């Protein structure tokens, strides 16, 4: 078992012993998603820590989107629950990059893409290819894309 997955399992056991319903249900759902990912495809495999982190990030994103949907639908209690679950998962993810740091990395990538001949809105793909490996796991794709669009337009 990978170290991150075993940490999730240990934390789940601790949450169950402490009767922390929110943490235990969130970790249970996340471990289920990890197991589902492990058995997807033609043969069962063990996920690496990076792959486990991607599953956790995907689960956290689901919580954020659900919280927004519940808030728009006037279900504040459900939205709050989803936000709380998202915070539990955030503890297992790398710290998110600051806006200034992201702007700096994207600006450098835009210059690099322009030097390679990519101009205007068509350069989006080229810039994203440069930026994504640098910010992997530290900034959401939508957030990165918004900054790239802003800097390409400006």
CB-based contact 72:109 (threshold 8 Å): no
pLDDT at 153: 72
Could you give the CA distance from residue 21 to residue 96 in angstroms, rounded to a whole number? 26
Owner of token pair 């043969």: 43
Per-residue CA distances from 117 to 77, 113, 147 (Å): 51, 6, 20
CA–CA separation, 32 and 24 (whole Å): 12
Angle at which helix 49-72 crosses helix 21-39, to 10 degrees, equals 120
In this prediction, residue 130 carries a pLDDT of 79
The per-residue pLDDT for 118 is: 66
Does pTM top 0.75 for this prediction?
A: no
pLDDT in tens, the chain (154 residues): 668 889 999 999 999 999 999 999 999 999 999 999 988 888 888 888 888 888 888 898 899 899 999 999 999 999 999 999 988 888 888 777 777 887 788 778 777 777 777 676 677 777 777 777 777 767 777 777 787 787 777 6
Q: Specify whether the CB–CB gap between 130 and 113 falls below 8 A.
A: yes
The pLDDT of residue 57: 86
């Amino acid at each position: 078992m990978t170290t991150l997955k075993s940490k999730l399992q240990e934390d789940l056991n601790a949450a169950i012993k402490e009767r922390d319903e929110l943490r235990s249900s969130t970790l249970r759902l996340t471990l289920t998603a990890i197991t589902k990912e492990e058995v997807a495809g033609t043969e069962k495999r063990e996920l690496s820590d990076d792959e486990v982190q991607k599953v956790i990030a995907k689960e956290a994103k689901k919580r954020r989107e659900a919280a927004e949907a519940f808030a728009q639908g006037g279900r504040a209690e459900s939205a709050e629950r989803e936000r709380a679950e998202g915070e539990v998962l955030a503890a297992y993810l790398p710290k998110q990059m600051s806006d200034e740091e992201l702007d700096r990395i994207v600006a450098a990538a835009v210059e690099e893409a322009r030097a390679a001949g990519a101009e205007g809105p068509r350069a989006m793909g080229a810039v994203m290819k440069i930026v994504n490996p640098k910010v992997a796991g530290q900034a959401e794709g939508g957030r990165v894309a918004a900054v790239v669009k802003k800097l390409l337009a400006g």
